[in-house]
A and B are shown apart, each in its own frame.
Chain A
Amino acid sequence: MRIRELKSREIWVVVLLVYLITCLIPLGAPFEMSDITVEIYEFIDELPEGSIVVIGGSAVFAFDLESSASLIACIKQMHRNNLRIVCAPYGVEAVQFEKYCVDAARVDKKYGGNWEYGIDYVQLPYMAGGAAAYVAFLDDVHTAIATDVAGTPLDEIPLMRDLQNYEDIAAWICPHWAFDMIVRYVIAEKDIPGIYFAQSAAYGSYVPYMMAYPGKCWMTNGFLGGAQYERLEGVPGLGHAVVDSYALMSIVYVGFVVLGNITMYTAREEEEDEIQ
């Protein structure tokens, strides 16, 4: 069978098979640990017990899923260190994503963890308004938002009584897009350390901020960063599965490139023969 006669759907079948193999049989592909991921991990470990960490930003659930590997491992770490988290969504889909990650980390008492809603973690509702919403939230949380996602007034939630403004926030984690907002209003203006569990496609655009604010702004890169964080926390999950697929898919992609080039040269020689 000639390569040129292959249909795209046949190539996709090969790709699907490779993905299935990596999901069914963990390869344990090796990957390097990043110094920055270690720095983030140690920073979270050194936060005093009871510190409030905000998880927030604007979101697109489908893409944010890439940040879930790092975030779930990080939530487990924060749970282990008795930190408290407030999820502050600035995108419509951020509410679901943040809830998904907290549930997946299995830290609530109903999953056998130690955390209790309202005392150790709170989910706020979507906060519209972009930059203005960030500034208002940091200056006065209770003026910016009145209730949690379930409609309970913030004054009735023990954790929220300890979070009045930016001075009560120990760190800000962004597992979403639009990290620039966090840099501008959280890291630069309020001097709060910021961590970005970046999607691969966003990493390149936002990485200069890490150079601009050394020691105050850190980023992990996509699923690879997630795999690194999972290894540090000792909870291999989606990050490891994806790194496996990267390893195998890279071989397949190189194979496709080689085959494509061979096909192109063969076709060109045939065309030249026909002309002669």
Chain B
Amino acid sequence: MISTDPWIWLSALMTICSFSLLYGDNPLFRFAEHTYTAIVVGHSVVTGIATLESRFLPLFTGAKPLLIVPLILGLMSLFIVWRRYAWVASIPISIMIGVGTALSMRALIATEILSNISAVIRESALILVGPPVTSLGYLIRVVFTLSGVFYLLFTVGHRGPISKPLSYLREFGKYVFLCYLGLSVGNATMQLSGLATSCISRLINQWLGL
């Protein structure tokens, strides 16, 4: 049975308006596009204000007086719109960047560099263990990882006695990246295709009740 919920009707009509782009640019699509943009902006503003309220509640109740510090820093950052006193905003922005960089650096080294190196070493040891299909998987992963890293490190051509073998490895690394890009495009296509199915499924099930 067709839905009687006005929100589902609105959702269905906006979905149809969005899909109408496939027939070509038209006023219905532009209406949906502008409405969506406006809602996202409006929602972000409201969420921002609500966040301030929830974050600074303990300050106003007196439970956490130290919250006055971020509040002052936040107010200082607003000076960025006032050209004469814009330098005031540089203080909170520099603190924010400093804290962000420090937090990222300590985690990045462990997760992006050390853990990946240890993973490659661990998987290298697994190449000779287990069923052939699993071993092949580990072999491909290790070889592709090393080739990819090699390509990035030696992107600029090397001159010397080993330049020829290096160029072969670099070339192979390039194909590794192409494989990755191909897989990424394939995965992105699957994602968009799946999301289209979910939209149409919602229209049929929730709106039309079929």
Please give the residue numbers on chain A whose beta carbons come within 8 Å of chain B beta carbons, in ascending order. 8-9, 12, 16, 19-20, 22-24, 62-63, 65-66, 92-93, 95, 125-128, 130-132, 135, 143, 145-147, 151, 153, 180, 183-185, 188-189, 199-201, 203-205, 208-209, 211-214, 221-224, 238, 241-242, 245-246, 249
Contacts and interface: CB of A to CB of B under 8 A. Distances in A.
B198 A12 contact: no
Interface of B: 19, 22-24, 43-44, 47-48, 50-51, 53-55, 57-58, 64, 99-100, 103-104, 107-108, 110-111, 115-116, 118-119, 122-123, 141, 180, 183-184, 187-188, 190-191, 193-198, 200-201, 204-205, 210
Closest CB pairs A-B (n = 4): A184-B107, A212-B115, A200-B191, A200-B187
Contact of B194 (A66, A205, A209): A66
Contacts of B43: 92-93
Contacts of A200: 187-188, 190-191, 194
A22 B22 contact: no
A19 B24 CA distance: 20
B104 A131 contact: yes
Nearest to B70: A129
9 contacts: A23-B204, A24-B210, A128-B48, A130-B100, A188-B115, A201-B188, A212-B119, A245-B193, A245-B197
A132 to B, nearest CB: 6
Given A12-B22, A19-B196, A126-B51, A66 B191 contact: yes
A268 to B, nearest CB: 25
A30 B195 CA distance: 20
A241 B201 contact: yes
Given A200-B190, A211-B141, A242 B54 contact: no
A216 to B, nearest CB: 11
A217 B210 CA distance: 40
A92 B54 contact: no
Contact of B111 (A65, A183, A203, A204): A183
Contact of B57 (A147, A203, A211, A246): A147
A246 B196 CA distance: 11
Contacts of A224: 190
Nearest to A130: B100
Nearest to B22: A12
Contacts of B57: 146-147, 153
Nearest to B43: A92
Given A62-B195, A127-B51, 19 more contacts: A19-B200, A20-B204, A66-B194, A66-B198, A125-B51, A131-B103, A131-B107, A132-B103, A146-B55, A147-B54, A183-B111, A189-B110, A201-B187, A204-B187, A211-B119, A211-B141, A212-B119, A223-B197, A245-B193
